[in-house]
Amino acid sequence: MTTSQKRFLLIVNGKSAGNAALREAVAEQRKAGMPISVRVTWEAGDAIYFAEAAADMGITHVVACGGDGTVNEVMNGLMRLEASRRPAMGIVPLGSANDFATSVGLPLEPTEALAAALTLVDYPIDVVKLSAENDSESATSYYVNMMTGGFGAEITSSTPKMLKRMLGGGAYSLMGAVKAWRHRSYRGTLHWADQEESASLLLLAIGNGRQSGGGQVLAPNARLDDGLLDVLVVRDFVTASAVPELVSELQDFPSDGRFVRYLSVDALSVTTQPDDPPWPLTLDGEARHYRRFRAEVVPLAIRAVLPDNCPLLSSADQG
């Protein structure tokens, strides 16, 4: 596709609509002849609607301008379209954590990030379908980066948004330190392939990407286009004397350590303990609570604008 055939729609998180650097970058790109339309969100769900509607506008590239939550909404909007009608997705990171944009190597400043979104090549990548249930409701949604459950999700959901914006990834570390002194176990049964494990967990992470919570690498071997989920299971500990061993295992990511288990699968189901509260989960940083859920790969579902040397593409292994 040549530049003259491209049409761009920027979906800007309303909280970033006044970003002076972004406004200036858009003005400069328009002067240079780039066909750019802009929509600004007002409330949750707007980015989903705008992204879904983009196909009928003749848009070829939708650019999510916001944090990981905005990227998630835009991607969910694209997934409502037939695969052949989905525009490619670019990103201008304007959030507090920007985990996905950081991990794939995109620029973090608005001017450079917009230029990248308008000029770099798009690559096919996987997304993850999450089917989840509570006692009286069920839901299906998608994520592109990471789902965390248990302790990690509790940190993300309990960190005030203003604190996130003030401290960036440091806000998550601060809340983590506070929560560590009074954490609870998350009991459940994990099912994958022909295997099953019942355990009390501290943390569960299911990654299509590699990092979450403002820079915490939880799935170091993840690839966006390999058809697999990278799963990190951190079992709970009883006494503080176990912490050094747990921390050591979190640096090595063993396939089946005493506290840490790291595996790659195409799908994983979790059933929580019936008499426990629903687990806190985050999908690309957005909070949820579910009793039962299943994550499965949708291979090469969307096209994302990424650097040629993106470390999360399988081609990086051959470089």
Q: Active-site residue numbers?
A: 286
Phi–psi pair at 253, nearest 5 degrees: 50, 60
Q: How far apart, in whole angstroms, are the C-alpha atoms of residue 201 and residue 259?
A: 9
- What angle is formed at CA 211 by the lines to CA 104 and CA 84, rounded to 5 degrees? 50
CA-based nearest residue to 110, from 134, 90, 87, 93 = 93
Residue 265 to residues 156, 159, 202, Cα–Cα distance (Å): 25, 30, 20
Q: Which residues contact 133 (CB under 8 A, 6 or more apart)?
A: 139, 290, 291, 292, 293
Q: How many residues does the chain have?
A: 319
Residue 58 sits at φ, ψ, to 5 deg, of: 80, 20
Residue 185's nearest CA partner among 165, 204, 208 is 204
In degrees and rounded to multiples of 5, residue 215 shows phi and psi of: 110, 5
Task: State both tokens at 12.
Answer: 């800007």
Q: Residues 202, 238: contact at Cβ < 8 Å?
A: no
